[in-house]
A and B are shown apart, each in its own frame.
Chain A
Amino acid sequence: MVRTRVGYAGGTKEAPTYHSLGDHTETIQIDYDTSQISYSDLLDVFWRNHNPSSRAWSKQYMAAVFYHDEEQKKLAEESREREASIRKEEIQTKILPFTAFYRAEDYHQKYQLRRERNLLKEFERIYPADGDLVDSTAAARVNGYLGGYGTSADLETDLNRLGLSAEGNRYLLRIVEYRNP
């Protein structure tokens, strides 16, 4: 995973915002390195992390794959069929063509990291511009650890590559050892 950002997609409203979303859906966009992970792997993570049979209450919170090309469309549709045959129930998750993505406001980005003021301050020193922080692989990685993903053993291998101070490293490791030993 190289970069992650949250935002709005799937609708027609120009320049949506959280409080004026129009017909858009809350989405996550991921830039990934194909030598490390495949689109099929990402689809597996996607299906494992939501309930595809529950009907969406609103377009804001519907579940969907927005495919960027014909290959992604084919793989997404195949994975949807597989899911339907395993679950033996109607799948509500939509497979839709990607049109445009509007990055959400900064305060929605790297949500877990923003709650850890000390770590956030360190990243803000490295990336004075908020947009750069959002695009940082290190910030995305730390955000994931803080969200409870990855083990403390994983973190120990990453720790010296994140750009944090010795104090920041110790602080992050303590949190991760406690939350996801």
Chain B
Amino acid sequence: MEMLATIEEKAAVIPPIDAATPLKTVTATFALG
């Protein structure tokens, strides 16, 4: 329960842009020298 409450609190303050983050993403890796 304690863990759930923590997650809930975190969800309440999470920036909206992060809340809207798509779950499915593609990864790219670069080195720029």
Q: How far is the CA of A42 from the CA of B32 in the complex (A)?
A: 13
Q: Could you tell me the distance between the alpha carbons of A136 and B33 in the complex, rounded to whole angstroms?
A: 25
Contacting pair B14 A126 (CB below 8 A): yes
Give the A-B pair count, Cβ closer than 8 A: 100
Top 6 A-B pairs, shortest CB-CB distance: A163-B15, A63-B33, A138-B15, A31-B25, A66-B29, A161-B17
Chain B interface residue number, banded: 10 to 19
Whether the pair B33, A27 counts as a contact (CB closer than 8 A) is no
Place the interface of chain A in its size category.
35 or more
Complex Cα–Cα for A153 and B10 (A)? 29
Contact (Cβ within 8 A) B30 A64: yes
Residue of B nearest to A56 (CB): B33
Tell me whether B29 and A2 are in contact (CB under 8 A): no
Distance in Å: Cβ of B27 to nearest Cβ of chain A: 5
Q: How far is the CB of B19 from chain A (nearest CB, A)?
A: 9
B interface footprint on A49-73 (CB within 8 Å = 1, 0 otherwise): 1110010100001111110100010
Asked if B15 and A161 make an inter-chain contact with CB atoms under 8 angstroms apart, the answer reads: yes
Q: Would A28 and B17 count as touching, CB distance under 8 A?
A: no
Closest B residue to A59 by beta carbon equals B31
Contact, CB under 8 Å: A126 / B21: no
> Interface residues, chain A, CB within 8 Å of chain B?
2-3, 9-10, 25-35, 39, 42, 46, 49-51, 54, 56, 61-66, 68, 72, 93, 98, 101, 125-126, 136-138, 141, 158, 160-164
Chain A nearest CB from B2 CB (Å) reads 15
Contact A27 B31 (CB under 8 A): yes
Q: How many angstroms between the C-alpha atoms of A66 and B20 in the bound complex?
A: 28
Cross-chain contact of A72 among B18, B28, B31, B32 (Cβ < 8 A): B28
Select from chain A the residue with minimum beta-carbon distance to B27. Answer: A31
Q: Determine how close the nearest CB of chain A comes to the CB of B3; give it in whole angstroms.
A: 14
Cα of A64 to Cα of B17 in the assembled complex, Å = 30
Contact A30 B22 (CB under 8 A): no
Q: Quick check: A66 and B26 within 8 Å, CB to CB?
A: no
Q: A141 CA to B16 CA in the complex, in Å?
A: 13
